[in-house]
Amino acid sequence: MTRTLIRYALAAIWLVMAAGCTETPEPEGFAGLADSAPESDFHQPSPEDRIELPEDWGPHPEHRIEWWYLTANLETAEGEPMGIQWTQFRQGLEPRPEAEEPPPASRWPLQSAWMAHGAVSFQGNHWFSERFARGNIGQAGARAEPLQVWLDHWQLEAVEPGRWQLTASGESWSYQLELVPDDRIIRHGDQGFSAKADNGQGSMYFSLTDIAISGTVTVDGVGHQVTGTGWLDREWSSQFLRSDQQGWDWFALRLDDGSRLMVFRVGRGEDAFRSGTLVNADGSVHSLTRGQIRLAAESYRETERGDIPVTWRIEVPSRALDLVVNAPQGDYWNAGLYPYWESPVTVTGTANGEGYMELTGYTQ
């Protein structure tokens, strides 16, 4: 995810101190983001860390930031493409060892703040909502077994082994979806440690890339039966990206040859940090380094918030990949406290496919 989205989580602190309501706070509240523990007090991820499942589906109170992040390319019964996004963030204010029980809610503890984003993209239109909550009082939280991640009535939960439900709603949109996760867990980077800079800072990061999804998406009062495939990222860290790493471009692509590709860059220009993961159709996983990835914007779209690169060329010459990624017509800004672009994409080139891209750092 992004430095900008980390700021989203920080913005929730203001809301927490204000009272814990779920309305979006005014930007002025961002000026008062003090009183959280120093970054050094939290556990810092490293290549020595390992992903442990199912435990790592749950929260990491000894880390400062984490998220559960789903995007999905769906199709209506009439064959029209539709995209959805659901993301939940936790921002730690005070670290706590995982083995230690949280303080009782009756004490009104202030160890964490939570935020959720939901969006639907359909027929060139984009609906988005965000919610905030105070942690440690039951309003928002997560657990590993059985899986449950919730903020008020928005929630992802396991209803039986191998079957999850996702429910969320905002102004003029809602979805109730059944998810059947695949068994293949993709650990990015070095056995799950994903570097975000040359100095070694990074996050723990794994994905489910092929989640079968079905259910109902309602927009402007009209319900649509949908089916399709989702991509779920799980990521946690304690380190903010460097101040000179302005902007983030992330792509998660499912290709019709059965392979899966995740690439991102942090920053702009030749010095941008690039990384990725290629999953072959046979299930073999290859970590991609900066020198193996060519990533360039090829065309832009003018929007009220700034010009957005909507056509990209992604090359991995060592794997004979030369892809063109295109966003559909429309405006796909997630217009929350700190806007960012989140859109479905189509892929052509040496392979065809579909997926999602997230872009930050392009607002005026």
Give me the percent of the chain exceeding a pLDDT of 70: 87
Specify the pLDDT at position 193: 96
More confident residue, 41 or 357: 357
> 319: number of CA atoms within 13 Å, CB side?
26
Q: Give pLDDT tens digits for 179-206.
A: 999 989 999 999 999 999 888 789 999 9
Q: Is the pLDDT reported for residue 7 higher than 80?
A: no
Q: Which of 118, 232, 124 is nearest to 175 (CA)?
A: 118
Using the predicted structure, report yes or no on whether residue 145 has a pLDDT greater than 50. Answer: yes
Weakest-pLDDT range from 54-68, 118-132, 190-204: 190-204
SS3 content of the chain, % helix, strand, coil (to 5): 10, 50, 40
Handedness of CA 253, 121, 127, 23 (dihedral sign): negative
Q: What is the pLDDT of residue 38?
A: 62
pLDDT of residue 343: 98
Q: What is the pLDDT of residue 84?
A: 98
Structure confidence at residue 364 (pLDDT) = 67
Asked if pLDDT for residue 141 goes beyond 50, the answer is yes
Domains, in order of start, for the chain: 3-360 (2.40.370.10)
Average pLDDT over residues 5-18: 44
Mean pLDDT (whole number) for 66-76? 98
Helix H segments across the chain?
A: 3-18
Q: What is the pLDDT of residue 111?
A: 85
pTM of the model: 0.89
Tokens of 306: 């700034």
DSSP string over 180-220? E--S-PEEPTBTTEEE-STTS-EEEEEEEEEEEEEEEEEET
Q: What is the CB neighbour count within 10 angstroms for residue 229?
A: 18
DSSP assignments along 245-293, one per residue: ---EEEEEEEETTS-EEEEEEESSSTT-EEEEEEE-TTS-EEEE-GGG-
Residues 141-154: what's their mean pLDDT? 96
> Bigger pLDDT: 255 or 7?
255
Mean pLDDT (whole number) for 169-178: 97
Averaged pLDDT, 80-103: 91
- Amino acid found at 11: A
Residue with tokens 């000026």: 31
Percent of the chain clearing pLDDT 90 (strictly above)? 73
Position 235 scores a pLDDT of 97
The pLDDT score that the predictor gives to residue 155 is: 97
pLDDT of the residue at 3: 43
Tokens of 317: 């010459």
pLDDT for 8 equals 44
Within its chain, how far is the Cα of 109 from the centroid?
A: 27
Strand runs (DSSP E) across 77-201, as ranges? 81-92, 112-122, 125-134, 140-143, 148-151, 154-160, 163-170, 173-180, 186-187, 193-195
Distance from the Cα of residue 105 to its chain's centroid: 28
At 306 the three-state DSSP class reads: strand
Residue 126 half-sphere exposure toward CB, CA atoms < 13 A: 17
In this predicted structure, the answer to whether residue 17 has a pLDDT above a threshold of 50 is: no
Cβ atoms of 225 and 76 closer than 8 Å: yes
- 287-344 per-position pLDDT tens digit: 999 999 999 999 999 999 989 999 999 999 999 999 999 999 999 999 998 899 999 9
User: What pLDDT sits at residue 43?
Assistant: 87
pLDDT band at 257 (very low <50, low <70, confident <90, very high): very high
Sign of the torsion formed by the C-alpha atoms of 139, 211, 60 and 26: negative
pLDDT given for residue 282 in this prediction: 93
Q: What is the mean pLDDT of residues 120-136?
A: 96
Q: What pLDDT sits at residue 353?
A: 98
